[in-house]
Amino acid sequence: MNPRKDYPLGGKKHKTPSPHVTWRIMSQKKIFLVFVAISTVSLLLHHGVHFSWTMEAFHLGCPSLRTHLSSSLKPKHTNVAFLKTHKTASTTMQNLLFRFAERNNLTVALPVQACGHQFCYPRTFNAHLVHPHTLPPNVVTSHMRFNRAEMQHLMPNDTIYVTILREPGSMFESLFSYYNQYCQSFKRVPNGSLEAFLNEPWRYYRPDEKDSMYARNTLTFDLGGDKDRPAADVAVYARAFVAETERVFSLVMIAEYFDESLVLLRHLLSWDLDDVLYVKLNMRMSGSKHSLSPGLPAKIRAWNALDARLYDHFNASLWRQLTALGPACVAREVRLLRRAQERLVRGCFGGRLPQLRSAAQIKNKELRPWQPSAKVDIVGYDLPTNTNATRPGSLAHELCLKLIMPEVQYTRVLLRSQSLRYRRSYPLRSPQPQPQQPIRSVLPRHQQVGIQQMHREALPPGPGPASGLTATPRPAGTQSRATRVGLRSSGPQRQTP
């Protein structure tokens, strides 16, 4: 019997390919696989994934990072609201966000000029306080007293909310030092003694007094809460307030673990390593800092009980999230972040950061930090000579300059550039001035001096009043709900105690 012969469905006998054909098919497969590999790497790089950094962490065997590797193909999340709290390293975080917005051609919501560089803090935020040339925004990061409803009207629906807290003891010492000459609750204390204030806080503190928010539960106030709850109600109120804060904010960073917080932020927003590089800003000279004597931290926590409960809850929450990523993975990412910052500093400043200097020693006025009083020395940086950062007009110069630029000057520069972009985008619109009442500034006097003049010089003349609350008409179909709500009225603004 003849062996069985297999035929294809067409009825024709199957022919074995020749060695030459087999070699050609295998070569084509190899070329295809190489092409796929190259395309995949190119796609990863196109989407901003620092492949080597991610793969280093990936090899540690972290499930969370394996998931992140695939999710990194998603575009970066660019709608971000950062609640800038006081004396919490938030200026450093603001600078990071300003630079990210500029690199990605995003719009940053900035205050109308009557408010200076803050959204008329301590007034509760509303969208009328946003400069019309900075609408509709992708990013908001200037000081405000948080108002959830107004922020949700202003920002896109997919906005991710982030804020930062600091350990109450060190934060209150910083507040007392920084605002000692302007907050009346601090100013009336004999010899500017923090110990004296904490021994008898109600002797000096007036809840409804100007600037009282710096003297008690400042974090709670910044987040929109009631800083002066009765002692019997603190525990119940704190639980509800913490729960509400957790519902709104996807990430609450902790200043003492800034780099670890940035690891979580980078994962949350699908950002690159380069997007979270920073230099510390708005620091006090060591002589302006005071160590806390034994017993004072406990008194600070008791006086700021709401802030203490906020911090304890979100510090624990941060570490639960870091544990979920894996301690080894987090430590590796932090090391990689710091190495990248060292490379950036070498590229900008020729090896290491410039020496910290007092404002009087800084030659470049764009780099002089604002000084709260003669008793507190806020230090900054000056550009060294003969480095990439000293070649005006170069991209390196702009990058390095803005990396160390203080908040007031950067806000002014950003408002100018966004106003120019606004006018270029709508060259045919006709000015429509409307009657309006100016916003009465509620900035403390120490912040009004000099800052308003700086902002008046910053903004090129635009259509209608510079601090106007009515938007110039935009092309049909482009006006967002944020724009409409933010500028719906020009009536008097409600004062917040």
Of 253-262, 365-374, 453-462, which one has max mean pLDDT? Answer: 253-262
Average pLDDT over residues 464-491: 36
- pLDDT above 90 (res 442): no
Angle 116-117-118 from CA coordinates, rounded to 5°: 95
- pLDDT above 80 (res 439): no
The residues, any chain, with a CB within 8 Å of residue 455's CB and separated by 6 or more, are 113, 116, 117, 411, 412, 415
More confident residue, 470 or 159: 159
Lowest mean pLDDT among 152-156, 172-176, 375-379: 375-379
Position 350 scores a pLDDT of 80
- pLDDT above 50 (res 384): yes
Mean pLDDT of the chain: 79
pLDDT digits (tens, 9 = 90+) for 166-177: 999 999 999 999
pLDDT digits (tens, 9 = 90+) for 20-52: 656 666 666 666 665 555 554 444 444 444 444
Position 8 scores a pLDDT of 45
- pLDDT above 90 (res 489): no
Lowest mean pLDDT among 198-207, 237-246, 340-349: 340-349
**pLDDT-derived band at 296, boundaries 50, 70, 90:** very high
- pLDDT above 70 (res 3): no
Q: How far is CA 436 from the centre of its chain?
A: 32
Query: What single-letter amino acid sits at 281?
Result: L
* Token couple for 447: 């912040």
**pLDDT-derived band at 126, boundaries 50, 70, 90:** very high
Average pLDDT over residues 135-153: 97
Percent of the chain with pLDDT over 90: 55
Position 181 scores a pLDDT of 85
Phi, psi at residue 162, to the nearest 5°?
-135, 145
- pLDDT above 80 (res 284): no
Position 372 scores a pLDDT of 75
pLDDT digits (tens, 9 = 90+) for 211-228: 999 999 999 999 999 999
Position 490 scores a pLDDT of 34
Q: How many CB atoms lie within 10 A of CB 355?
A: 10
More confident residue, 488 or 13: 13
Position 368 scores a pLDDT of 82
Position 291 scores a pLDDT of 83
- pLDDT above 80 (res 259): yes
Nearest-angstrom CA–CA distance, 154 and 108 = 12
pTM confidence score: 0.75
Ramachandran assignment for 166, one of left (phi > 0), alpha (psi -120 to 50 degrees), beta (any other): beta
Average pLDDT over residues 470-476: 35
Position 459 scores a pLDDT of 44
Position 476 scores a pLDDT of 37
- pLDDT above 70 (res 108): yes
Position 369 scores a pLDDT of 82
Lowest mean pLDDT among 30-39, 232-241, 331-340, 405-414: 30-39
Q: How far is CA 444 from the centre of its chain?
A: 23
Q: Are residues 112 and 129 in contact, defined by beta-carbon separation less than 8 angstroms?
A: yes
Give 433's strand partners. Answer: none
More confident residue, 323 or 359: 323
Position 407 scores a pLDDT of 95
- Per-residue burial over 176-214, b if 16 or more Cβ lie within 10 Å, else e, is bbbbbebbbbbeebeeeebeebbeebeebbeeeeebbbb
More confident residue, 326 or 384: 326
Strand-strand pairing, 378-379 and 283-284: antiparallel
Average pLDDT over residues 383-412: 78
Q: Are residues 221 and 250 in contact, defined by beta-carbon separation less than 8 angstroms?
A: no
- pLDDT above 70 (res 239): yes
- pLDDT above 50 (res 101): yes
Position 415 scores a pLDDT of 97
- pLDDT above 90 (res 55): no
Q: Is 32 exposed, middle or buried (0-12, 13-18, 19+ CB in 10 A)?
A: exposed
Average pLDDT over residues 81-104: 97
Q: Are residues 470 and 431 in contact, defined by beta-carbon separation less than 8 angstroms?
A: no
